[in-house]
Amino acid sequence: MYRTFRAGQIRATDIDERVRLAGWVARRRDHGGVEFIDLRDASGVVQVVFREGEAAEAAHELRNEFCVQISGVVSRRPGGNENPDLPTGDVEIVADGLTVLSESAPLPLPVDDNVDVGEDVRLRHRYLDLRRTGPARALRLRSEANRIARQLLHDEDFVEIETPTLTRSTPEGARDFLVPVRLQPGTWYALPQSPQLFKQLLMVSGFERYYQIARCYRDEDFRADRQPEFTQLDIEASFVTESDVMAIGERIVTALWRELADHEITGPIDRITWHDAMNRYGSDKPDLRFGTELVDLSDYLAGTAFRVFAQALESGGYVGAVVMPGGASQTRKQLDGWQDWAKARGAKGLAYVLFDEATGEPRGPVAKNLSAEHLAGLADAVGAKPGDAVFFAAGADRIAAQELLGAARLEIGRRCGLIDESAWAFCWVVDAPMFGRTDDGWTSLHHPFTAPNADWADRFGDDPEAALAYAYDIVCNGNEIGGGSIRIHDAAMQRRVFDVLGIDDAEAEDKFGFLLEAFQYGPPPHGGIAFGWDRICALLTGADSIREVIAFPKSRGGHDPLTGAPTPITPQQRKEAGVDAVVAPPTA
């Protein structure tokens, strides 16, 4: 037995106890005649004292992060030497035995909670980074989140089932990661973008309630909250309505935040329709930690001579605005900065009107282009006070203009300090559109198996743009943390959806014939939800990046700074893998 106690758990009640401990040298303070070692194991830190004898001699040779075993007696610290900052601060181990289990080379990064280290070095030596309290705590919290979800779902009769990670390329939104198949050269597996189709098959199987903490893979560019492999808490249930699924999701989120963020979500989480979210916040994942809503000026500005607005309105588009409190005091440079900001988002610019701090008079280039009547009522129409700025967006594409204003709203919230960083603001965004327009037709906004809502079940084909789905996202502080839908279980309805999407029978058969076949055999009504587990854990730990809650994350470009993956393969591997196999053209 290496140890009889855990270092961080020793208390005054253990005084006079003879103990054996094992752990790492977190810090040493060598005074010559007396030497202190902070011994760290997974449970915490305790101070070890060496005074005289063989062990004390050997202790001089210790260095940071040596792995050691120590024997000694738990003692009360001399009066005045207690350390109130440590849970073990009342006691120390008076050591009489020391075994070096392994030595440590000089460290490439300080294993010290108080020192900032660059992320690239941390990830290169992630195993050392994870010896530190903060990074380790993030992974422990994630473990707790897994436990909470599993417990809750288990209690509600959900069955945890694993699905394949070597599977078939399916027509979902993102690029697939592909794996060559040695046994059938020229054919490829895809790594799943989500277990979507498998969980629907499990509903056909009659499990009724499935979940999985599932690894998913998408070959797209990275962001702070995106990795090529990521984790979803994936859930599907049969004989459920939209409200049933949302209730399950809500219980999970409530439990997570109660236990891990000490935050009680009281009452049902507010629901907002997708169209309301776009109209009021210019986003399908609105950050509700602050107000500042968008204002639709399409009616108010009807008949305007200002060409930018008039053109948008004539083409049936939209003119809207958002108020920046105190924005009139911005310098010319700052106002120009907004133009650059808007252009970076693909907009032509961001029109604005400033209301004079003293007189309330509207100023600025756009003000000159608006009629006296429009200017006179503008402040009331948008809810601006003297000293405020108003930003406008106009366009034939209503959604694009609203998204620009929505992005401006977030930027205003940040720049004006309107966001309460300690707040948790949740909402459901419901009644999402079924379809989005593409260059040559329609595409599913969620996925092709998403059911239309009751209003649109019989007529979504008549007006795809307006059709609404039983699809819902849960949003926290402007982050989409989960989303799902009720699925189509009726073959005829599925066929009609494919018609809208321009998928003919042959293509449907080719792409997901196996699912359609399964759906011939009495598929139950079903629906589900998937939570972005990395992002939820990042929110719960207060981390800026999901990399903080992933043990060994990848850096940009899919590079693993620790292992160096991806790497070239040997010619032998290349040959065996069948990467270069020439596939015979299909014979007619």
Partner RNA sequence: GGUCCUGUGGAGCAGUUGGAGUGCUCGCCGCCCUGUCAAGGCGGAGGCCGCGGGUUCAAGUCCCGUCAGGACCGCCA
Enter the DSSP assignment of 486: E
Q: How far is the CB of 249 from RNA (least distance, A)?
A: 16
Give the separation between CA 428 and CA 271, rounded to whole angstroms.
Answer: 5
* Cβ proximity to RNA, 64 vs 273, nearer residue: 64
Give the separation between CA 393 and CA 383, rounded to whole angstroms.
Answer: 16
Give the separation between CA 149 and CA 159, rounded to whole angstroms.
Answer: 12
What is the 3-class SS of 220-278, one letter each residue? Answer: CCCECCECCEEEEEEEEEECCCHHHHHHHHHHHHHHHHHHHCCCCCCCCCCEEEHHHHH
Known binding residue 103? Answer is no
* Cβ proximity to RNA, 200 vs 369, nearer residue: 200
By the 8 A CB rule, do 286 and 272 touch? yes
Residues that bind RNA (CB under 7 A): 27, 29-34, 36, 38, 47, 49, 51-52, 63-64, 77-78, 81-83, 85-86, 89, 92, 106-110, 112, 114-121, 172-174, 193-194, 196, 218, 220-226, 344-346, 407, 436, 443-447, 545, 555-557, 559, 561
* Cβ proximity to RNA, 425 vs 445, nearer residue: 445
* Cβ proximity to RNA, 374 vs 398, nearer residue: 398
Known binding residue 363? Answer is no
Bond before 171 cis per omega within 30 degrees: no
Known binding residue 535? Answer is yes
* Cβ proximity to RNA, 280 vs 285, nearer residue: 285
Give the separation between CA 103 and CA 68, rounded to whole angstroms.
Answer: 8
Q: How far is the CB of 187 from RNA (least distance, A)?
A: 23
Known binding residue 17? Answer is no
* Cβ proximity to RNA, 158 vs 435, nearer residue: 435
Q: How far is the CB of 461 from RNA (least distance, A)?
A: 19
Known binding residue 227? Answer is yes
| Positive/negative CA dihedral, 517, 179, 127, 532 | negative
Give the separation between CA 8 and CA 14, rounded to whole angstroms.
Answer: 12
Known binding residue 480? Answer is yes
Provide the token pair at 242.
Answer: 């939209």
Q: How far is the CB of 174 from RNA (least distance, A)?
A: 3
Q: How far is the CB of 4 from RNA (least distance, A)?
A: 22
* Cβ proximity to RNA, 332 vs 556, nearer residue: 556
**Short-list 22, 39, 30, CA closest to 61:** 30
Q: How far is the CB of 369 from RNA (least distance, A)?
A: 27
Quote the distance between the C-alpha of residue 334 and its chain's center: 31
Known binding residue 447? Answer is no
Q: How far is the CB of 138 from RNA (least distance, A)?
A: 15
Known binding residue 209? Answer is no
Task: Please list, in sequence order, all residues whose beta carbon lies within 8 angstroms of the beta carbon of residue 314, skipping any fewer than 6 positions away.
Answer: none
For the annotated binding site for L-aspartate, the residues are 172, 218, 446, 487
Binding residues for ATP, by number, are 218-220, 227, 480, 532-535
